[in-house]
């Protein structure tokens, strides 16, 4: 089945060459994209990857009476040999793109080694990289964010406390890992004039949105609790793609399709 192709932004640029410059500034993929990438990977590897969201520490940079946001972060070089994790460091966004936390290095907990080396992670990043909606010859790095947002009755969780924003990267992949007991949490995309151009609820695991972070803004509406539920959980994998001059230049074909997603 083809990806959703919202037409709100499809006329911003012409298609110039297949796979290098697509007209969409974002694409919403059904779960099939990631499912196909994970095909062939042992099911216990995938379930271990998914269950690792159960062991995320609270995000210390979200000030709230009840911790509702949990996360880990890792940075990788996209090399011909695949994903190579680089030494753990703080995550920094510019103040211009994140008015709440920008300009402040945030020290998130590192990924577990089992996650950082997981075949599932490699397969998912490879699938997203193959679908980047624009030129990406200079992209040589990605950031991996595991994020859980929770809510309880009377206390919503905010997936984007900074509001409508850009992440300050080139492309961003947003992959739904788990959605349980959630009411709300619409993923929303805006043009650069801050007009809403697309919204959708990610409901099925492995549904994903890949966006051109320089051409659109995004946020997600608060996570609420579905009627009759005591706890809402929304787990997301975010993959930031960018060019890092401190890392080796990208290979002509990074992330070769290995046994993880042949
Ligand atoms: Fe974001």
In this prediction, residue 250 carries a pLDDT of 76
- Share of the chain residues as helix, strand and coil, in percent rounded to the nearest 5: 15, 35, 55
**Residue 14: its pLDDT value, please?**
33
Cα gap 10→6, rounded to integer Å: 7
The token duo for 3 is: 């990806």
Task: Find the 87 Cα to ligand 1 centroid distance in Å.
Answer: 23
- 216 CA to middle of ligand 1, Å? 11
Confidence grade of residue 164 (pLDDT, cut at 50, 70, 90): very high
How many CA atoms are closer than 13 Å to the CA of 67, on its beta-carbon side?
10
Confidence of residue 254 (pLDDT cuts 50, 70, 90): low
User: 166 alpha carbon to ligand 1 midpoint, in Å?
Assistant: 6
Grade residue 4 by pLDDT with cuts at 50, 70 and 90.
very low
Report the DSSP beta bridge partners of residue 196. 190
Mean pLDDT across the stretch 234-254? 87
Tokens read off for 202:
């990610």
The domains located in the chain, with CATH, are: 6-11+22-86+94-242 (2.60.120.620)
- The one-character DSSP state at 55 is G
Cα 161 to middle of ligand 1, angstroms: 10
CA 219 / ligand 1 centre spacing (Å): 6
Residue 145: pLDDT above 90? yes
Give pTM, 2 decimals: 0.87
How many angstroms separate the alpha carbon of residue 149 from the centre of ligand 1? Answer: 14
Mean pLDDT over the full length of the chain: 85
pLDDT per residue over 83-121, tens digit each? 999 988 887 777 776 777 767 788 889 999 999 999 999
Asked whether residue 234 carries a pLDDT value surpassing 90, the answer given is yes
Between the CA of 47 and the centroid of ligand 1 the distance, in Å, is 26
Tokens coding 31? 């779960």
Nearest to 34 by CA among 132, 125, 109: 125
Tokens of 93: 């966004």
**Average pLDDT over every residue of 186-194:** 93
Q: What is the mean pLDDT of residues 251-262?
A: 53
Q: Average of pLDDT values for 159-171?
A: 89
Decide: 12 and 175 in contact? Cβ < 8 Å.
Answer: no
């Amino acid at each position: 089945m083809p990806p959703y192709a919202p037409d709100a932004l499809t006329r911003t640029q012409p298609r110039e060459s297949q796979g290098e410059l697509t007209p969409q500034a974002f694409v919403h993929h059904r779960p099939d994209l990631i499912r196909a990438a994970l095909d062939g990977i042992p099911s216990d590897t995938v379930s271990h990857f998914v269950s690792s969201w159960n062991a995320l520490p609270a995000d210390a940079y979200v000030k709230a009476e009840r911790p509702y946001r949990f996360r880990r972060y890792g940075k990788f070089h996209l090399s011909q040999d695949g994903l190579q994790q680089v030494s753990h460091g703080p995550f920094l966004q510019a103040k211009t793109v994140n008015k709440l936390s920008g300009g402040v290095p945030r020290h998130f907990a590192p990924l577990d080694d089992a996650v950082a080396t997981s075949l599932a992670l490699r397969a998912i990043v490879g699938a997203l990289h193959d679908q980047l909606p624009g030129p990406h010859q200079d992209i040589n790095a990605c950031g991996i964010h595991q994020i859980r947002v929770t809510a309880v009755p009377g206390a919503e969780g905010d997936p984007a406390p900074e509001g409508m924003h850009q992440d300050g990267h080139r492309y961003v992949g947003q992959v739904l890992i788990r959605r349980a007991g959630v009411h709300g949490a619409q993923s929303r995309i805006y043009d650069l004039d801050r007009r809403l151009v697309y919204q959708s609820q990610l409901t099925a695991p492995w549904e994903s949105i890949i966006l051109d972070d320089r051409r659109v803004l995004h946020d997600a509406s608060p996570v609420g609790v579905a009627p009759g539920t005591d706890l809402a959980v929304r787990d997301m994998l975010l993959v930031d793609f960018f060019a890092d001059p401190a890392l080796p230049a990208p290979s002509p074909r990074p992330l070769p399709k290995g046994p993880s997603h042949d």
